[in-house]
Amino acid sequence: MALRTVCAAALRNGTDLGVNNTRTFVTTAFLCKKVPPLGPMPNEDIDTKNLESLKKYGSYTRYFKQAEEAKNKPVWWKTYKGYMDIADPEHGAEKVDIGLPYVRSRKIKEVRERRQMLKDNKKNAELERAFRLRTFKISLDRVQEAWENDDRPRHVKRLAEHYGVFRDLFPMAYFLPQVTLRICYSQENSSQVYYGNQLTPTEVASAPQISFSAEEGSLWTLLLTCPDEHLLDNEAEYVHWLVGNIPGGAVQAGEELCHYLPPFPARGTGFHRYIYVLFKQDGPINFQDDARPSPCHSLVDRTFKTVDFYRKHQDSMTPAGLAFFQSQWDESVTNTFHNMLNMREPVFEFIRPPVYHPPQVKYPHRQPLRYLDRL
């Protein structure tokens, strides 16, 4: 009796399952009929049976002209350039070269010289033997000299653009740094300024030794500024050093318009750029309006804008040299704020105070022993 009941239940379940599957299939088929048909397919209007009647382009020029006409037709959407032109009218504008004229040697002559040098090196048996035995030594001074005479201005320009030097100092302008600035903050040549290297405020606390190649009788202006350091105005700078009417390459003999002030990047503001710019003068310049009181320990008096300074004297000077380094806060910055600038040090990060340990009692009365807190 029990077996009959189980078989009947199994047959009934199987019948119901078949009915449910049938209903699902019918419902799916009905929904498929309700789906809207697809739109016209690409090239649906082309008669594939009569391809000879289709219009053919005789040449690529004809097709190119029609493509140009379609490209120039106004469209309802805007390109990225269109959006940027509305937001920033100067976007995409051509930058102006304000530097000295750059005369580069002919490329054909350089290639010929290199080929001749390769031929001479291949014929040199001693050179081949030194290479084979790995005893050949390359003179780094000659490599540095060749780089400075050939590719240095273009490489330094690319580095300056990467660090945003021209964007912040000379908006919509640039120049090729053709004069090499050698800036050293120590006697051992360990703290030199290159093109974006990192130096601590302690290393650059005093004025450096500067040298550069200059013709006899020429006049120069040296500027050290920081576009990231101003505490009140993001568009302004602080001038750290300004020397004008430098005869030849003797910076010490120039007219010091603003004495040297060590960098003071505020705590919590990251790395700051400190930029040296060398200007070549056409003749003596009267810098009476640009001179600061000596000593100048007022940040208001040191507020500066390189572009305004250049526009004021652009008829008499031309930017020719560039070098810059990066620096961030260390302990010497606190001394600069307190002793030189005579002001409280601004801090832009949270400084956790040291843990306070109350004095330990030798025989505490009903108090826990706190000797573990001192570990």
Please say if the pLDDT value at position 222 is more than 90.
yes
This prediction's pTM: 0.70
Instruction: Let me know the angle formed at the C-alpha of 151 by 147 and 155, rounded to the nearest 5 degrees.
Output: 110
Question: Which tokens belong to 178?
Answer: 């053709």
Please say if the pLDDT value at position 38 is more than 90.
no
Region 180-206: what's the mean pLDDT? 92
**Largest Cα–Cα distance in the chain?**
126
Which percentage of the chain shows pLDDT scores above 90? 54
Question: For residue 17, what pLDDT is reported?
Answer: 44
Question: Are the beta carbons of 102 and 175 closer than 8 angstroms?
Answer: no
Mean pLDDT of the chain: 84
Instruction: Please report where in the chains the tokens 């379609």 appear, as a residue.
Output: 70
Beta strands 317-327 and 195-198 are parallel
Please say if the pLDDT value at position 360 is more than 60.
yes
Q: Which residues contact 293 (CB under 8 A, 6 or more apart)?
A: 301
Question: For residue 7, what pLDDT is reported?
Answer: 46
Q: How many residues in total does the chain contain?
A: 375
- Residue 160, exposed/middle/buried by CB under 10 A (0-12, 13-18, 19+)? buried
Please say if the pLDDT value at position 256 is more than 70.
yes
Which percentage of the chain shows pLDDT scores above 70? 81
Question: For residue 314, what pLDDT is reported?
Answer: 95
Region 152-177: what's the mean pLDDT? 94
Cβ neighbours, 10 Å, residue 223: 24
| Residue predicted with more confidence, 214 or 33 | 214
Question: For residue 36, what pLDDT is reported?
Answer: 66
Query: What domains does the chain contain, in order, with CATH numbers?
Result: 167-340 (3.90.280.10)
Question: Are the beta carbons of 144 and 194 closer than 8 angstroms?
Answer: no
Backbone angles phi, psi at 36, to 5 degrees: -65, 150
